[in-house]
Structure 1
Amino acid sequence: MNPMAAVKAYQAIQGAGAAGPTGGVGGAQGPGFGELLQSVMNDTTQQTRAAETQMNMAVQGQGSLIDVVTAVSSAEASLETVIAVRDQVIQAYQEIMRMPI
């Protein structure tokens, strides 16, 4: 997932949870948090596989080095996004666990 896709996903979530004019939650329901995470993981997996495919083609002499570098950079950015989200989820969980009952 590239950074722009992450921003668009974040904006979609923010728009889905916005309060309507009556003070309630808006009628348009966006994807759930679990669905969003599943989508991000699927995108990351696809980009990693694309990078592996480009590397295999380059090793066989059928691909260009620029395509390999681009695919690997995209996969790396996706992985960094997933790691950042994971770190934030863990931090939020730890904050919840520190709350007094």
Structure 2
Amino acid sequence: MITALSVAKAYAAAQKGIGGTGPDAAGAAAGGADFGAMVRGVVDNAIGASKSAEQQIVAHAQGKAQLIDVATAVSAAETSLETVMAVRDQVISAYQEIMRMPI
């Protein structure tokens, strides 16, 4: 199950992945990367993990990779996808909450 704590940890890990050092580093006004760039980076990382897993599967089928390498790559791809889905769910939830606010 995905919790708010796991989403916060994933966000922190994504910040480190794009060169940020904390929540303030993501602000466009502070000169850092904007939210869109952070999301693009996380999605690109998830895509890269999926491609790596696919390559490991093909290599294993050809007898060039160990099963543990395949399992590790698939697990990393699954974790990346779960992180992207958790962030997506939180963004949609925040948007719906904003839309319910009276003007």
Same fold (TM over 0.5): yes
Contact 2:26 2:35 in 1 (8 A): no
| Residue number in structure 2 paired with 1:23 | none
Offset of residue 4 of structure 1: 6.7
Residue of structure 2 aligned with 1:73, choices 75, 80, 87: 75
Q: Deviations over 1:59-92 (max 9, x none)?
A: 1111100000000000000000000000000000
Distance 1:99 1:4, change over 3 A: closer
| Residue number in structure 2 paired with 1:100 | 102
Cα distance in 2 for residues equivalent to 1:65 and 1:17: 38
Cα distance in 1 for residues equivalent to 2:73 and 2:43: 16
Q: TM-score, normalised by structure 1?
A: 0.79
- State percent identity of aligned pairs: 48
Q: Which structure would you say has the larger Rg?
A: 1
1:7 aligns with 2:16: no
- The letter of the residue matching 2:25 is A
Aligned residues: 91
Contact 1:54 1:63 in 2 (8 A): yes
Distance 1:4 1:85, change over 3 A: closer
Distance 1:17 1:7, change over 3 A: closer
- Highest relative contact order (Cα 8 Å, sep 6+), 1 or 2? 1
RMSD: 2.5
1:52 aligns with 2:54: yes
Q: Which runs of 5+ in 2 are unaligned?
A: 1-7
